[in-house]
């Protein structure tokens, strides 16, 4: 079965410090991985995706993610956190069958303190 | 136009009411989706339309009835809902249903069933 796990319910970081939000996946075949962010009472916003190629993927708002095949991980990173980055972050993997469904992780709440 | 719009933003309905949620996109996307999201949980897929045809129904109760009148519009008709159906209903679209296509989400409709 294909799945994605976000082991941390919440990540706390001080403004200006680097941040990492963790994601691990389990898929058969090559993974298609996505990160989304959700602000309160809003829909999800696409941040970045990994399909193939370079293991370091750059996305919106200064975020990047590193694909690591041996560790089956796709951690989201940002060199310098902003208070406005505080939100709920979802990792997702595309199901490798004819449905092409997205499976979301449980979500990680990022809290950036001033 | 790079956004997905949803109306209404908020909806309160009784268990005997009939109401509809509407979703619209003008990005030329050929796949559209309905998700249900409970508080602090990831979105759960309900329906997928591909080229205006229903391609996935995730065993959703018949009190939810989707409709895709054309490639830009997606409706969700609601009838005889239960209080446990209260949630944020998200619409999304993508260029197609292929693995690499990211989904773009609308802001959602906050539904409360009394």
B105 near A CB under 8 A = yes
B110 near A CB under 8 A = yes
Task: Compute φ and ψ for B85, nearest 5 degrees.
Answer: -80, -5
Q: Sort out which chain B residues have CB atoms less than 8 A from A65's CB and list them.
A: none
Among B90, B97, B102, beta carbon nearest to A43: B90
What's the distance, CA B101 to chain centroid?
18
pLDDT for position B83: 95
pLDDT at B1 over 60: no
- pLDDT in 10s for each residue of chain A, 114 residues: 788 999 999 999 999 999 999 999 998 888 899 999 999 878 899 999 998 888 999 999 999 999 999 999 999 999 999 999 999 999 999 877 766 788 999 999 999 999
**Cα(B93)–Cα(B97) distance, integer angstroms:** 9
* Percent of chain B topping pLDDT 90: 83
B59 near A CB under 8 A = no
Distances in whole angstroms, Cα of residue A35 to Cα of each of A4, A88, A92, B13, B58: 11, 11, 6, 33, 23
Among A45, A46, A104, beta carbon nearest to B43: A104
CA distance A70 to chain B (A): 21
């Amino acid at each position: 079965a294909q799945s994605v796990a976000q082991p941390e319910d919440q990540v706390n970081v001080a403004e200006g410090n680097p941040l990492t939000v963790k994601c691990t996946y389990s898929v058969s075949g090559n993974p298609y991985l996505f990160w989304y962010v959700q602000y309160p009472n809003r829909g999800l916003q696409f941040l970045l995706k990994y399909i193939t190629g370079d293991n370091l993927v750059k996305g919106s708002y200064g975020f990047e993610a590193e694909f690591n095949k041996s560790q089956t991980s796709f951690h989201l990173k940002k060199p310098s956190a902003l208070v406005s980055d505080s939100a709920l972050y979802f990792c997702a993997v595309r199901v490798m069958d004819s449905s092409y469904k997205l499976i979301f992780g449980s979500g990680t709440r990022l809290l950036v303190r001033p | 136009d790079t956004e997905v719009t949803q109306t209404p933003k908020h909806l309160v309905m009784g268990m005997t009411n009939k109401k509809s949620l509407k979703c619209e996109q003008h990005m030329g996307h050929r796949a559209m989706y309905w998700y249900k999201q409970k508080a602090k949980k990831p979105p759960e897929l309900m329906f997928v339309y591909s080229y205006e045809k229903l391609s996935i129904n995730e065993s959703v109760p018949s009190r939810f009835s989707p409709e895709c009148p054309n490639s830009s519009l997606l409706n969700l008709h609601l009838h005889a809902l239960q209080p446990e159906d209260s949630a944020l209903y998200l619409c999304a679209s993508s260029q197609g249903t292929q693995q690499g296509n990211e989904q773009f989400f609308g802001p959602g409709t906050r539904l409360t069933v009394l």
